Amino acid sequence: MVEPKATDLMERIVSLCKRKGFIFQSSEIYGGINGFWDYGPLGAELKRNIKDYWWRAMTRWRQDVVGLEASIIMHPKVWHASGHTTTFADPMVDCLLTKKRFRADQIEPQSGTAYHYSGAQDASETVEGGPARNCAEPYSVLIETGKHPGYAQEIARKFYKERGVRWPTLLGERGEELQNTTRYNPDNGSLLTEPRLFNLMFKTHVGPVEDQENVAYLRPETAQAIFAQFKNVLDVARQKVPFGICQIGKAFRNEINPRNFTFRSREFEQMELEFFIRPDEAVEAVCGSVARPQGPGHPGRPQANWGWQMWHQYWVEERIGFYENIGLPRASLVEYWQKPEELAHYARATVDILYKFPFSKRDAAGEPAGEELEGIAARGDFDLSQHQRFSGKSMVVFDEELKAAWPKVEKERQEQLLNSYGQARLKYLTKSGEPEEKAVPQAREEADRLAQGYFVPHVIEPSAGVDRLALALICNAYAEDQAPDEKGKMESRIVLRLHPRVAPVKVAIFPLLKNRPELVGKAVEIRDLLRPHLAVFYDETGAIGRRYRRQDEAGTPFGVTVDFDTLGEKGPEFKDTVTLRARDTMQQTRMKINDLLPFLSEKIQ
Ligand code: ATP
């Protein structure tokens, strides 16, 4: 079968999402609102399954992670401390002709000939006899090298007309060859405005008075609440470092250019873990050495002597394993290590897990490069330190093992460890604006405190988006193949090969005929038997083949048909057996009704 083009494929996926009730445009009856989406009956189940599976994998099945559910609006100082009020901004540019807005860093570099104009003179006086309105604003248009300058002139005339010049005569035309410029609109060649920084946080006011005093923000990420509540959780959770706190919740970003369906939305959900660890100096003091990665791959069960690099690698591998467990093959994912120049100043390493979406840019070999599903960052002790500084509340933990181990460390090694810890603290303090005369003694004091068992924990942060994952799962599952109709004739079918763990409906129950009360009664009985344990869908209308096809499109992995054999009409050995049809292979097997639940449960867990 011919593979559809990426854009066609995306269109088909978007259309299926609407048709089957996975994803609708928000406020569609009013024309929609850009960057906001609603999940219909199947989409709501899919998202819930993703979140449930993440929650179980990240906390319920672990000893060392606990959950949190924090408010969306927090004290504005949280966002001063995290840096979001000052640095959470994207550069934006507008097309000078159409006003279309772009994120400056997302414009593809282009090469060509730029035609510059110094302004335009109005020929109205001569043409119409009206008063002339000249414009002295310089403007340029980029066109392909070798293309006739008439194209650039046409665009430039439109630009000057917009500025009130009725019959523009272009002035001072000058051509210039440009390489890899991002200053022009890729759609029409028009010059863009200079980049301006635009803060992505949505603002609101708390209480009835809308003044500066009452400004608050809709959280742009869920992570900060975890840091802000770190001490409270530590006090109650009976955990000690290393341990994690995780949270799922809504986040809001006033994205300049929402695009690629739900991939970049203005309201979305995140699933975030902050996993707190000892600084490497403390690990060495307690364990005598620090284990570092010996090569790629999962490093196995956590060990006390792991330094931050081992923990980082561990979480990268755990998270990739998570995606594989819900049906994203390893080959569809890319593990992208951010380059030193891409890292945030406090980050020691960040790995982005990318999924090869149909709309991903292609690399030189034509392979999709992938788009971010999740970032796993080793953030040092930056976040807790910031909240400690801004709130004045201590974020330091006491580590009894460290206190007990310290005196046993060789004197010379003690000095080295204190020096390396003190240097890191000094770097943080001076970077965050403390004057040297204050930062130096403070860093020394903090190093002395390390020797007594006190430190601000470091953190590894796996941060994933629910909506991007839902979209990746749908894209990955979408397939078109051939299936036989009622008469055995092959016809094309659309099938969503969602993993049973995330599929919105796990099993569909069909009585063969709806006008036979014995068949309907038995099917309803099976539905009621399974319903307390898993999502089932009961359907009695239409030919059985059509009912299968509807469920194939919904991603339902199994179908159960109650037929006359079930009633024992073919022989007692078939009584209380049903046909179980597998969506992907379309194979049908006979199964006892009593075996259905254990079989399906095993597929789903
Ligand atoms: P991007 O570079 O794509 O804007 P980011 O690096 O800013 O993403 P993070 O701040 O690391 O993203 O957020 C963690 C996760 O939250 C992302 O990996 C993604 O899954 C999700 N996410 C972030 N922004 C959006 C958005 N606008 N729409 C949907 N999901 C998002």
* Residue 445 CA to ligand 1 centre (angstroms): 38
Evaluate: CB of 84 within 6 angstroms of ligand 1.
Answer: no
What per-residue confidence (pLDDT) applies to 251?
98
Q: Say how many Å lie between the CA of residue 336 and the centre of ligand 1.
A: 15
Residue 462 Cβ inside 6 Å of ligand 1? The answer reads no
Q: Residues near 310 by Cβ (< 8 Å), separated by ≥ 6?
A: 291, 292, 293, 299, 303
Q: Are 192 and 155 in contact (CB under 8 A)?
A: no
Beta partners for residue 251, in sequence order: 268
Ligand 1 nearest-atom number relative to CA 253: 27
Interval between CA 352 and ligand 1 midpoint (Å): 10
Distance (angstroms) between ligand 1 centre and the Cα of 465 equals 6
Any ligand 1 atom below 6 A from CB of 465 = yes
SS3 564: coil
- pTM for the complete prediction? 0.90
Q: How many angstroms is it from 67 CA to the middle of ligand 1?
A: 21
What confidence score (pLDDT) does residue 6 get? 72
Give me the DSSP letters along 199-235. E-PPEEESSS--SGGGEEEB-S-SHHHHHHTHHHHHH
Q: Whose CA is nearest to atom 2 of ligand 1?
A: 372
- DSSP bridge partners of 376: 351, 462
What secondary structure does DSSP assign to 7-61, as a single string? Answer: HHHHHHHHHHHHHHTSEEETTGGGT--TT-EEE-HHHHHHHHHHHHHHHIIIIIT
Q: Is the CB of 270 under 6 A from ligand 1?
A: yes
Q: What is the pLDDT of residue 484?
A: 81
Residue nearest to atom 16 of ligand 1 (CA): 465
Contact 360, 371 (CB under 8 A): yes
Mean pLDDT by 10 residues, the chain (605 residues): 73 97 97 97 98 97 97 97 92 94 92 96 74 91 94 96 94 96 96 94 95 95 98 96 98 94 98 98 97 95 98 98 97 96 92 97 89 98 97 97 97 97 96 93 96 98 98 98 82 95 98 94 97 97 92 98 91 91 95 96 91
How far apart are alpha carbons 221 and 223 in whole angstroms? Answer: 6
> Which residue's CA lies nearest to atom 13 of ligand 1?
463
Which pair of tokens denotes residue 382?
A: 């930056």
Q: What is residue 129's predicted lDDT score, i.e. its pLDDT?
A: 63
Q: Which of 36, 247, 250, 468 to mutate to test the pocket of ligand 1 (most atoms within 8 A of CB)?
A: 468
Residue 139: name the closest of 195, 196, 192, 102 by CA.
192
Using CA atoms, how far residue 193 sits from 101, 110, 135, 187, 306, in Å, is: 10, 16, 17, 15, 50
Among protein residues, the one with the nearest Cα to ligand 1's atom 30 is 465
Q: Cβ(566) to ligand 1 under 6 A?
A: no
Q: What is the pLDDT of residue 126?
A: 66
Distance 270 CA to ligand 1 centre (A): 8
Predicted local distance difference test score (pLDDT) of residue 131:
74
**Residues ≥6 apart with Cβ < 8 Å to 399:** 240, 241, 278, 282, 286, 453, 454, 455
Instruction: Report d(CA 48, CA 598) in Å as an integer.
Output: 22
Which ligand 1 atom lies nearest to the CA of residue 466? 20
Let me know: does 316 contact 376? Beta carbons within 8 Å: yes
Does residue 467 line the site of ligand 1, with CB under 6 A?
Answer: yes
Residues 6 or more apart in contact with residue 474 via CB below 8 angstroms? 13, 17, 22, 46, 496, 498
